[in-house]
Amino acid sequence: MRLPIKLNEAGWPARFSRLSFAFHDPRPLAGNGAGLSQQAFSDAISTMQFGVTFKTTRPGRQQHSNRFVRDLLRGSKPAILDVGASDGSTSLDLIRTLDGDFRRYYVTDLNLSARCGLDRGGIHYFLDNDGNCVLRASKRFIVYSEVNGAILPLRVLAQALISGHRRASQWREVVLIQPELIGLARSDPRVSIMRYDMFTPWKGEIPGLIKIANLLNGKYFSPAQMSQALRVQCSNLAENGFLLLVSEDDEVEKFSVFRKSRGAMQLEHTHAGGAKAAHLVPSQIDLPDVNAA
Ligand SMILES: C[S@@+](CC[C@H](N)C(=O)[O-])C[C@H]1O[C@@H](n2cnc3c(N)ncnc32)[C@H](O)[C@@H]1O
């Protein structure tokens, strides 16, 4: 990140929030989102970055694809694999739109939780699954550990500030999932929230729809990495199943829908120019290697 130190909009006058380097306050996540609205929870989540990917999301951002999928799946009740769902707000939207027309709904993401600790000055530090500090948040500033592309002084300053996590205490687990979705998964056995890496084969029920929204993006992955992820996901998909790719540009929702048919992926529908990675979807799907362990 070229500018690994951002303003925390909580510590500045409201007009500062229009600046591109002013980000939402992630500190309310330390209380597991208690008392936050769905939008406020997604705002806080969207500031989090793990590796190169941000957890940016918000409810209501995929209305066009949700309606398309509802009409496409009407009456078929497939298992659905939602890959890279962040806090699950967009999963909640699709679940509501489908109004029960699914057999299973797997809400998945590589980063479902973080550890949060505080130092004596009340500064919050967030650690990833491997115990690496990814973010430091004070009332006025947000500092990221991802410093690729930053000039040397900023890189050194960001790393020095991040290293303050060694003095933090009161560590607690923070769940990065909308509380309402957690409640739904508890009460509806069809809905599961699971950690899943899109580069690995899916081990759950074979999905009739795989959705990947705002993850296959050249800002995050090389074309070779995106092609690899797509090969894995096309292999995961059931015969006659659908792959839905969604991306967003300037708040415009774009999507592409492919159908798997006799070992080939066929483009079925394109909306607003299609998703960014649509051209990387393999036309033929490799058969699984039967000799592989
Ligand atoms: C920009 S968010 C998109 C959230 C949601 N799909 C949406 O459209 O609002 C990207 C998400 O992908 C997750 N992610 C990153 N790498 C991943 C991987 N290899 N496998 C699965 N999820 C991943 C991140 O943790 C993040 O939550």
pLDDT tens per residue across all 293 residues of the chain: 899 999 999 999 999 999 999 999 999 999 887 889 999 999 999 999 999 999 999 999 999 999 999 999 999 999 999 999 999 999 999 999 999 999 999 999 999 999 999 999 999 999 999 999 999 999 999 999 999 999 999 999 999 999 999 999 999 999 999 999 999 999 999 999 999 999 999 999 999 999 999 999 999 999 999 999 999 999 999 999 999 999 999 999 999 999 999 989 999 999 999 999 999 999 998 765 444 44
State the DSSP code for 284: B
DSSP string, 178-219: -HHHHHHHHH-TTEEEEE--TTS---SSPPSEEEEES-S-TT
Give me the helices (H) in the chain, please: 38-46, 63-73, 89-98, 152-162, 179-187, 223-236
Indicate whether residue 110 lines ligand 1 (CB < 6 A): yes
Cα distance between residue 202 and residue 122, in whole Å? 41
pLDDT score for 291: 47
- Which among 110, 211, 222 is the best mutation to test ligand 1's pocket, defined by most ligand atoms within 8 Å of the CB? 110
Are 229 and 199 in contact by the 8 Å Cβ rule? The answer is yes
Q: Which residues contact 203 (CB under 8 A, 6 or more apart)?
A: none
Indicate whether residue 228 lines ligand 1 (CB < 6 A): no
Q: Which residues contact 47 (CB under 8 A, 6 or more apart)?
A: 23, 24, 25, 26, 54, 55, 135, 137, 142
Indicate whether residue 199 lines ligand 1 (CB < 6 A): yes
Q: Which residues pair with 125 in a beta bridge?
A: 117, 136
**Assigned CATH for 63-110+197-280:** 3.40.50.150
Which residue's CA lies nearest to atom 26 of ligand 1? 55
Q: How far is the CA of 83 from the centre of ligand 1 (A)?
A: 7
Indicate whether residue 49 lines ligand 1 (CB < 6 A): no
Q: How far is the CA of 108 from the centre of ligand 1 (A)?
A: 9
Are 286 and 267 in contact by the 8 Å Cβ rule? The answer is no
Q: How far is the CA of 149 from the centre of ligand 1 (A)?
A: 22
Are 185 and 193 in contact by the 8 Å Cβ rule? The answer is yes
What are the structural domain ranges in the chain? 5-55+115-175, 63-110+197-280
Q: How far is the CA of 187 from the centre of ligand 1 (A)?
A: 25
Say how many C-beta atoms besides its own lie within 10 A of residue 106's C-beta: 22
Q: Which residues contact 1 (CB under 8 A, 6 or more apart)?
A: 49, 144, 146, 147, 148, 149, 150
Structure-token match 């699971």, residue found: 194
pLDDT score for 285: 87
Cα distance between residue 203 and residue 200, in whole Å? 9
Region of residue 171 (left: phi > 0; alpha: psi -120 to 50; beta: else): beta
pLDDT score for 287: 60
Indicate whether residue 109 lines ligand 1 (CB < 6 A): yes
Could you give the C-alpha distances from 68 to 20, 233, 257, in angstroms and in order?
32, 20, 9
Cα distance between residue 84 and residue 61, in whole Å? 15
pLDDT score for 290: 45
Indicate whether residue 85 lines ligand 1 (CB < 6 A): yes
Which residue's CA lies nearest to atom 27 of ligand 1? 86
pLDDT score for 271: 98
Q: How far is the CA of 155 from the centre of ligand 1 (A)?
A: 25
Are 7 and 142 in contact by the 8 Å Cβ rule? The answer is yes
